[in-house]
Amino acid sequence: MICLGIETSCDETAAALVTGEGQVLGSVVASQIDLHEAFGGVVPEVAARRHLERLSPTVRRAIEEAGIGPEEIGLVAVTRGPGLAGALMVGLSFAKAYAFARGLPLVGVNHVVAHAYAAFLGAEVRYPELALVASGGHTVLLQLRGPQDALVLGRSRDDAAGEAFDKVARALGLGYPGGPLIEAIAREGDPLRCPLPVVRPIEGSLDFSFSGLKTAAQQRFLAGEGPADVAAAFQEAVLAQILSRTRVAIERLGARRLVFAGGVSANGFLRERLAQALAPLGVELVAPPMHFSTDNAAMIARLGLALYAAGERAPRELNAEPVIHPFKP
Ligand code: KG4
Ligand code: ZN
């Protein structure tokens, strides 16, 4: 079974073809970063219009890259949310029309949960899995108990981790998106020159908070600290918070693996230091290949295939869900 995955929730137009074994045959991501750079962030209406122009050629390119005929596609999976309403609707309308015209089954996929499934492209999922998804829009700690069952253990109470990276980068005058720029400049910095405050857990909760860290980083910079030192200290503080929450979850659940996914997991420093810290606990860090950390459609197809195998079928009236509540895969 080959699945066509479609992703248009934010500023990447993406299509991919993935086999039932989780092998990626083709994956194309058409980024809109250049388009939104001038605004310092994603403009929803502009994003939706660009998806409309790009989606059809992106799907065609992914099919070409896979070297298959369209008749070999057996399933269509599409992001139904969370994300920007207009952007999501472009992907959904396309996916529905494509599936209907070819008589194919369709499944709707939760973008945040799909990020975690990027770690299972070419790898087996062993339920229950503990997963930290840290992206530009979300930071959630999940227990994946099956394709249709993702339990939220903790989430950010304010900014998402990636959002904090982006805002700190802007404050330091680095540009957008901020994650890779902070990571690069932090290599030249000393994290001990201006350490940032420890964000203590709220009792009994595994929730995160990144807004205060972002403000503290901005203030250190305004007080005259160098951008490289501030960036290095910020990364250390993000790592410390991730570690403190995941350690508790690992202990509570007796987890042997931690999936680290979402755009922020493209950060080599965080990946390496997390893996180092978890190894003595006998816990393995499982992360997607770097290029599947950030938004892509292979992860949508991967979760779509798992949902389909579990019996999931989208109803005709499948609609965009910009905010998914209660949280479901
Ligand atoms: O998962 P993603 O591509 O899109 C969302 O679903 O939000 O994540 C994008 C976020 C951005 O905030 C970006 O700054 C962050 O991921 N990011 C990084 C790195 N690369 C991307 N954050 C930290 N370090 C990186 N190397
Ligand atoms: Zn994402």
Ligand that comes closest to the CA of residue 263: 1
The CA distances from residue 116 to 31, 64, 71, 149, in Å, are: 21, 27, 29, 13
Instruction: Based on DSSP, count helices (H) and strands (E) in the chain, helices before strands.
Output: 10, 10
The answer to whether the CB of 81 is under 6 A from ligand 1 is no
Report the alpha-carbon distance of residue 307 to residue 245 in Å, rounded.
Answer: 28
Ligand that comes closest to the CA of residue 300: 2
The answer to whether the CB of 10 is under 6 A from ligand 1 is yes
The answer to whether the CB of 118 is under 6 A from ligand 1 is no
The answer to whether the CB of 235 is under 6 A from ligand 1 is no
* Ligand 1 centroid – CA 102 distance (Å): 35
Whether the full predicted model's pTM is greater than 0.75, yes or no, is yes
* Ligand 2 centroid – CA 56 distance (Å): 21
The pLDDT value recorded for residue 40 is: 72
Strand, coil or helix: what is 262?
coil
The answer to whether the CB of 166 is under 6 A from ligand 1 is yes
Q: Which of 135, 213, 303 to probe ligand 1 with, by most ligand atoms within 8 A of CB?
A: 135
The pLDDT value recorded for residue 326 is: 63
* Ligand 1 centroid – CA 317 distance (Å): 31
* Ligand 1 centroid – CA 135 distance (Å): 5
Both tokens assigned to 43: 């403009």
R_g of the chain computed on alpha carbons: 20
Burial degree of 193 (CB within 10 A; 0-12, 13-18, 19+): middle
The answer to whether the CB of 82 is under 6 A from ligand 1 is no
The pLDDT value recorded for residue 75 is: 98
Residue 212 near residue 202 (C-beta atoms within 8 A): no
One-letter amino acid identity for 220? R
The pLDDT value recorded for residue 324 is: 86
The answer to whether the CB of 183 is under 6 A from ligand 1 is yes
The pLDDT value recorded for residue 207 is: 97
Could you state, in chain order, the average pLDDT of each consecutive group of 10 residues for the chain (329 residues)?
A: 97 97 97 84 90 97 97 98 97 98 98 98 95 96 96 96 96 91 98 92 91 97 98 98 97 97 98 98 97 98 98 94 79
What domains appear along the chain, each with residue ranges and CATH number?
2-118+292-309 (3.30.420.40), 127-287 (3.30.420.40)
Ligand that comes closest to the CA of residue 288: 1
The pLDDT value recorded for residue 253 is: 96
